[in-house]
Amino acid sequence: MSSDDRKPGIHVAWTQVTYRSLVLLILAVAVAFLIAVRFTFPQFSENTMKKAGDLSGKLLERVAGMAPAVGTGAATAQQAHFTAIDGTVRVKKSNGNSWTPADYNVPLEKGDVVQTGSEGMAKVVFNDGTSYTVRQDSLIVIQENSANDQQQTNVAVAVSTGTVDLSTATYSQGSKSQVIVAGATASLAPESAAQVHNDPKAEQHEILMKKGTGEVSRNGETVKLANWEKISFEGQQSRLEKTKEIGPPTPIAPANMAPLFSSDAAMKDVEFSWTAMANAVGYRLRISRNPYFSSTLVDKKITTAAVTVTNLGQGAYYWMVQSYDAAGKESVESEKNRFTIIAKSSETEAIDLELDPFIQHGHVIEVTGKTQVGARVMVNGSEVPMVTGDGQFHYFTPPLPTGEAVITVTAQTAQGGVNTQQKKIVIQ
């Protein structure tokens, strides 16, 4: 541009320079200077060059540190918790040699062992949402329970003996939820459920996929499982045998935790119903006074999906149903529903119910409080298995989804007294 074309005034121009660019420019100038000095003065001290190199390296590390940190993938140990304890359940910690009674306040960690007695059941929930219902006469070992900085979880439980029911929740890609039995490892997909049975004395081992998908690996052999497919094997050298199982019905009535009011103080007729199964030729109904079904009041086979049982007295009952095919092969047990027959009262009075402030453990909520002596307590429709003689109760919810959740606590007496409270909590 000629001087004649220029307009009078101040002209400002700029170039954006970042701190990183400035530091790199200074380093480049310094390196060029050192190289020039090195060739100009061959006797330049090697130690001086080394120190300069170390300084440059540290500066480069600081510059690199300005970039966002990349996930290392390092695993951090997690804890699991009991959400239900019923009957005889004990725990042996990984760092101890003695057994202690299971307690809701005792967290479960890698290496811990859980054992149930002949009349004992427990439910354990992990941070990834995987839950294990440990049935009576069973023993499990927590083999792995960790999460990395990318929110990928790794849960593995070994079933040493007995029977467990497990279910997985929705977890992030790259996570693992595994159950191990007699050297076979079953990996379950999210939103899946399975039943595992291990009888080491008889060398009978089974893994049944009740919902979702999974795969079982053992001795270099891998078998995929879908709904109501089962693998079984006997002994160390046997191969995995895959079979198709018949599914159990879903109980309909009486609904779980339902109170049934009787105008007759002595007895009541109760109608039971469940979903009909396409491949079933009949059903087996069992009714018991205890959740272990160690003794039964009713154990009968019928061909319809409904039946009326007469002359049931007051109190709590448990019931479940199985289907069977033309060959007489029975399905696994359905869910167990509990109901209570209560003498009808002209008045239903409110009973005492006091709730302590909720304690949040990630997505799990710890609920404690006190109710009337002799009352049973339900949290979000699930019965609290442990209510002390003075009415105090303690319960851990299953993992709740992110967002606002409503916790509903209901206390109920055998006389029909009831009290319900609801509180909102935000899961982050």
Give the number of residues written for the chain.
428
pLDDT score at 424: 87
Distance CA 134, CA 121 (A): 6
pLDDT digits (tens, 9 = 90+) for 353-376: 999 999 888 788 889 999 999 888
Q: Does the pLDDT at position 166 exceed 90? A: yes
And the tokens for 272? 């039971």
Between 139 and 18, whose confidence is greater? 139
| Percent of the chain residues past pLDDT 70, beyond the cut | 80
pLDDT score at 36: 57
Distance CA 277, CA 330 (A): 12
Quick one: 194 exposed, middle or buried, by C-beta within 10 A (0-12, 13-18, 19+)? Answer: buried
Distance CA 241, CA 212 (A): 19
Mean pLDDT across the chain, nearest whole number?
A: 82
- Spell out where 126-220 has E strands: 131-134, 139-148, 153-167, 176-181, 184-188, 193-199, 204-211, 214-218
Q: Does the pLDDT at position 332 exceed 80? A: yes
And the tokens for 24? 């790199």
Instruction: Name every residue whose Cβ is closer than 8 Å to that of residue 5 and which is 6 or more positions away in sequence.
Output: none
185 contacts 158 by C-beta, under 8 angstroms: no
CA distances from 11 to 6, 7, 8, 17, 334 (A): 10, 9, 9, 19, 84
Contacts 24+ apart (CB under 8 A), 420-424: 420/353, 421/353, 421/355, 423/355, 423/358
pLDDT digits (tens, 9 = 90+) for 173-208: 889 999 999 999 999 999 999 999 999 999 999 999
Smallest Cα–Cα separation from 312: which of 279, 280, 267? 267
* pLDDT level of residue 378 (50, 70, 90 thresholds): confident
Please compute the mean of the pLDDT values over residues 39-45 and round it to a whole number.
49
Q: Does the pLDDT at position 222 exceed 70? A: yes
Q: Does the pLDDT at position 419 exceed 90? A: no
Please compute the mean of the pLDDT values over residues 107-131 and round it to a whole number.
92
Q: Does the pLDDT at position 59 exceed 70? A: no
Distance CA 228, CA 321 (A): 17
Whether the predicted model's global pTM rises above the 0.85 cut: no
Residue 133 CB neighbours (<10 A): 17
Please compute the mean of the pLDDT values over residues 46-68 and round it to a whole number.
45
pLDDT score at 104: 84
Please compute the mean of the pLDDT values over residues 60-86 and round it to a whole number.
65
Between 41 and 281, whose confidence is greater? 281
Distance CA 428, CA 424 (A): 13
pLDDT score at 227: 92
Residue 344 CB neighbours (<10 A): 13
Q: Does the pLDDT at position 427 exceed 50? A: yes
- Among the ranges given (7-11, 94-98, 232-236), the one the predictor scored with the smallest mean pLDDT: 7-11
Distance CA 425, CA 428 (A): 10
Strands 267-274 and 251-253 come out as antiparallel
304 contacts 291 by C-beta, under 8 angstroms: no
pLDDT score at 144: 94
Q: Does the pLDDT at position 112 exceed 60? A: yes
